[in-house]
Amino acid sequence: MPSNPHVWFRRIEAVLSTRRITSERSRYSYVVQSLPFDVVIDVEDLLDPIPADEPYTRLKDAVIHREAKSADRMLLEVFTQVDLGDQTPCQLMQHMRSLLAGRHMDDEIFQEIWIDKLPLPMQ
């Protein structure tokens, strides 16, 4: 699964729409088949038993929530190697945004990391 589960689900939902798969149960089954094994392990609690109410919606919400947290952790690791150096704070922010490479990161987390990279008098 890519680092942006929202985009992954948009693609899956396009396939589901094209194939006219509309029931929650059928959508759930299709997604379970399509998820990478490591993601399936993360949502194992929703596999057995299959949720009775809105199984697809509950699975989608869980995958997005859990995988987005994993992506944020990965980005935190990337950002630990970044420092202000001789850049301006604005240049640092632009550099950090470029490291996201289109991936989503919670704005509050991003801002907190960016502020931590600034010298104490600037924080």
pTM: 0.60
- Quick one: pLDDT band at residue 1, thresholds 50, 70, 90? low
Per-residue model confidence as pLDDT tens digits over 56-107: 999 999 998 887 766 667 777 777 778 888 889 999 998 888 887 767 778 8
Q: Average per-residue pLDDT in the chain?
A: 87
- Comparison of pLDDT for 15 and 70, the residue scoring more: 15
At residue 38, the pLDDT reads 87
The mean per-residue pLDDT over the stretch 106-115 comes to 87
At residue 109, the pLDDT reads 84
Per the structure, the count of domains in the chain is 1
**Domain range holding 111?**
5-122
- Quick one: pLDDT band at residue 25, thresholds 50, 70, 90? very high
At residue 47, the pLDDT reads 93
- Comparison of pLDDT for 109 and 58, the residue scoring more: 58
- Quick one: pLDDT band at residue 2, thresholds 50, 70, 90? low
Complete DSSP assignment for the chain = --S-HHHHHHHHHHHHHHTT--SHHHHHHHHHHHS-HHHHHHTGGGTSSPPSS-HHHHHHHHHHHHHHHHHHHHHHHHHTT---TTS-HHHHHHHHHHHHTT----HHHHHHHHHHHS-GGG-
For 53, half-sphere exposure in the C-beta direction (CA atoms, 13 angstrom radius) is 0
